[in-house]
Amino acid sequence: MTLSRDQVRHVALLARLGLKDGEEDFYAEQLSHILEHIDRLGQVDTEAIPPTAQVVEMRNVMRDDVIQPSLTQEEALANAPEARDGFFVVKAIQDADPG
C-alpha cells in the first residue's frame, strides 16, 4: 500500500496535525515505505482468530462509588495556556455573527 500526497493531507487533518511546506511528499514516501513492511500482515490467515485488545484478560474491574479527594480548580487550571473565571479559554467554535 502506498500513500498519496492527498491521503497524507487528509490523514494529517484527521489527526489535527498542521503540515509544513514539503511535508506531504516527505511523509508520503516514509509512510508508504513503512506500510510496505506492514502489508505482510496480509499473508497471515486470521480467519478464525479473535482479536486481542488486552492481554491480561481482566474484566469488569469495579469499585465503590465513593467521592475521593481530587485536584482543586486552581490546580487543574494551573497549566492552562489561558484561563478565565475558573474556566479554560477555548477559541470560538461558532461564528460570532451567524448572519
Establish if 91 lies at the interface with another protein (CB under 8 A).
yes
Establish if 66 lies at the interface with another protein (CB under 8 A).
no
C-alpha cell at 46: 486470521
Rule CB under 8 A: choose which of 21, 22, 63, 86 binds another protein: 63
Query: Rule CB under 8 A: which of 20-59 touch another protein?
Result: 20, 27, 30-31, 33-35, 37-44, 46, 49-56, 58
Q: CB 29 → another protein: shortest distance, Å?
A: 11
Select from 30, 24, 20 the least CA-distant residue to 10. 24
Q: How many CA atoms lie within 13 A of 32 on its CB side?
A: 14
What 3-state class would DSSP assign to 87? strand
